[in-house]
Structure 1
Amino acid sequence: MAALFLAPFYLAVCFYVLNWMLKWMAVCNNIFALAAFRYGFSALYILTATTLLSSFLIKKPDGLHRTLKHISNLWLGTFLYALIGIGIADFIRILLYFSPLADASWFHSKLMFAATGFFTGVLILFFSFYGFFHAKKLYTTTWNISSAKSCSGHDTLKIALIADLHLGYNTDEIFLKRLVKRINKLQPDLIIVAGDTFDNDFHAIKHPQKCASILSALKSTYGTYCCYGNHDLDEAILAGFTFGGQKENADERFEQFFHDAGMTLLDDEVRLIKNHFYLIGRKDPARCKKLISEKERLTPNQLTQHLDKSKPILIIDHQPKELSLLADAGADLILGGHTHNGQLFPGNLLLPLMWENPYGLLKKGNAYSVVTSGAGVWGPNMRLGTKSEICLVKMQFHS
């Protein structure tokens, strides 16, 4: 219902952007003012703007479907910055119109109008191209924390944390190979994949066996552990909105992929790793609500009540919620993702309004929360003001 409600608004802003683009191009060259060009450009614009719908409806042939998905993802990011750029330019124009400068001859000149359009267009293209290529670059972020507990055999535990791979249209085998190489170079003791490995569509992964094989090359002392995220189920999505309601069961291919990739799935499960520390993986609350067969996830106290709390307790929880409850239940380290740190500016500025720890490191009681911005991207295959990252958490213990 939300998608249908927002559709008229989307069409309105699409027309708003198209209208200003045609006006600016028309003053640059007479060719752009010709009816044939305006109709042709408008048709191409409409086809691109509606790839959100056409990629949802057209599933076959697979090559066409994937092409439409790639175009729609590129379109989403570019359109966002087109709307922001044109909106700011239009707002400044309105302010100047009601100022004394409105009477100046340059304000009404053709050259000034063309220059405004050109400058706005260059900025839109720059941010779009930068965002696209920046999303492909992997960073390593290191967080140093300390614990009053001791950990048998370790003064420091090195944990490689990744999340939000969103395997499929935006994350391919080339990116995964670089990711695995970077993680292995860190020589971690433990590797954590904190949810949203998938992108709501197993079919979106062009070569699932090859991707699983690449990820199986991850190396660490204690192995690779993962939990589910809200996107780790198969469901129809149109412009970010899900359709179809609840599903009876989860897609078994997801769990099989984890097995083939050498990852141990913890779904409201506790593991005592070599008698050194506890590792707990939580169910995702949003995923539980969408699957009829899923039980409600256990509370933090239910997960930790029978544990030896003199040992370090590490918890993987995709969405960084219930931090106080987890800390009170004895957690020493809470590892998550989900937020992407907003992925695209200005989203990263708004996240603190919604999340206690939208990104980075936060001390909560005796526990630390570490939230990664994610290794992959969701929706627009761009990043601006954020980064695709691997987090290296160095947890120091008192001996």
Structure 2
Amino acid sequence: MKVFLQSIFAQVLLTPYIWYKGYQALPPKPKWRLPYTLLFILELALYFFGYFFRKDLPDQVMDMIQFICNTWYIASIYLFLCLFALELLRLSNKWFHWYPFFIKEHYKAIKLSLLVLIVCGVSGLMIKAYHTVINPIVKHVSITIPKDGGNRDSLTIVMISDMHIGEVIGPKMVEKYVKMSNEQNPDMVVFTGDMIDYDVRYAEKGNIDKLLQQLNAPLGVYAIYGNHEYRANRFAKDKWFAKAGLTLLKDSVVMPDSSFYLIGRDDRINKNRQPLHTLMAGIDTSRPIIILDHQPESFAEVVMNKGDLSLSGHTHNGQLWPYSEVLKFVFECSYGKYDKGNAQFYVSSGLGVAGPPYRVGTLSEMVVLHIKFK
């Protein structure tokens, strides 16, 4: 229901606006305007059909409906922004009369040409946005922790955040992620939350646990909960994590070897999660301390408790512009490397996507942390 309410804004408000502006620009003939109108009616009908019968439809049918409607949802945002910008120009001309004679003389032809140009431009943007998701990058980040690592002077960690295994991210993409990780020869792999998008059945049907078992990491593969793990049946997810060969850290502290501590925090959606000072009671703070915390909202707590490096995801860096700009005002750090006090932080934009398989102005990334101890 929540997802429906979020996307209904575009379907009920943006779609009629886009239809109306396009209808005005098209030649006033039924052979143009009738098929154009039918396309919008069909999209709306498909959307509401998918919503009201979502519990009865097979996964394959529902996945197709979601892909079509989510694609339109993203496209409608950018179509609206372009059309609204043109509307502002039109209104400014109404007030200041700045249009040159050429535009006034050929106004209808120019309106149609601009409509075609906008549709082609947004189509190209969507293709690039999809390409960004299915071709993630490997981002290398250098970190120096000024603490004694015992018999270890360096550590390589592959950080994977926000995979969102489900309708969009399936076995083919996970197989690619596993290969990418193994190519980095990491000492350790960490999943910083939102591994499962909603229900675990897509991961089970795709035998994704067997793919994750192929991850190579001498110090182990660790995972924490994100907010999405609390959706649907989280107990089934716990079993699946174990089957996939992942060590789930839920308010847990481990030492993968004798060199450093790894603390995995429960997601902050759990109001009863342990405070960091409780988790760190009794540990040797002269050793390097690495913290996994899905949501990047506990920076001061990390600094106060002498944590050295905290790894988070959750934000997707907005996933779609201009949301990435908005998040800069929501989070202390919504993406990238950040220093506060004596602690260092990295917030990943994630590998997968929340909802439609598109990224505009952001990257799908696997982060490789090259850590040096002093």
TM-score after normalising by structure 1 = 0.87
Per the alignment, do residues 5 and 43 of structure 1 end up closer, same or farther by CA in structure 2, a change over 3 Å counting? closer
Write the mapping of 1:1-399 to structure 2, written as runs, cut at 5 A.
Answer: 7=8, 11-26=12-27, 31-33=31-33, 35=34, 37-50=35-48, 53-54=51-52, 57-102=54-99, 104=101, 106-107=103-104, 109-205=107-203, 207-208=205-206, 210-235=207-232, 250-286=233-269, 288=270, 296-398=272-374
Count of paired positions:
372
Q: CA deviation at 1:66?
A: 1.9
Q: Which amino acid aligns with 1:259?
A: A
CA 133–364 in structure 1, closer or farther in 2 if over 3 Å, else same = same
Identity of aligned residues (%): 27
| Deviation at residue 279 of structure 1 after TM alignment | 0.6
Q: 1:135 to 1:261 in 2, by over 3 A?
A: same
Unaligned runs of 5+ in 2: none
Could you tell me how far apart the structure 2 residues matched to 1:54 and 1:154 are?
57
What is the Cα-based RMSD across aligned positions, in Å? Answer: 2.3
Q: Is the 8 A contact 1:315 1:335 kept in 2?
A: yes
1:92 Cα deviation after fit: 2.1
Provide the rounded CA distance (Å) in 1 between the counterparts of 2:258 and 2:249: 17
| C-alpha distance in structure 2 between counterparts of 1:26 and 1:343, whole Å | 37
Shift of 1:98: 2.2
Shift of 1:21: 2.3
Distance 1:328 1:16 in 2: 51
- CA displacement at 1:361 relative to structure 2: 0.5
- C-alpha distance 144-42 of structure 1, shift in aligned 2 (>3 A): closer
How far, CA to CA, are the matches of 2:10 and 2:250 in structure 1? 39
Q: In structure 1, what is the Cα distance between the partners aligned to 2:222 and 2:170?
A: 21
The question of whether the paired residues in 1 share the 8 Å contact of 2:11 and 2:44 is answered with: no
Whether the 8 Å CA contact 2:295–2:312 is kept in 1: the answer is yes
Give ranges in structure 1 of 5+ residues lacking alignment: 236-249, 290-295
Distance in 2, matches of 1:339 and 1:90, equals 32
Alpha-carbon distance in structure 1 between the residues aligned to 2:313 and 2:268: 14
Q: Is the 8 A contact 2:47 2:65 kept in 1?
A: no
Structure 1 residues 84-133: Cα deviation after superposition (integer angstroms, max 9, x where no partner): 22222222222233222347352362211111111111111111111112
Give 1:5 shift: 9.8
Residue 76 of structure 1 contacts residue 379 of structure 1 at CA under 8 Å; is this kept in 2?
Answer: no
Q: 1:128 to 1:340 in 2, by over 3 A?
A: same
Deviations 1:190-236 (A, max 9, x none): 1110000011222344724x11111111111201101000011334x
Q: Is the 8 A contact 2:10 2:73 kept in 1?
A: no
**What do residues 141-186 of structure 1 show as CA deviations (whole Å, max 9, x unaligned)?**
1111111111123211111101100001110111111111111110
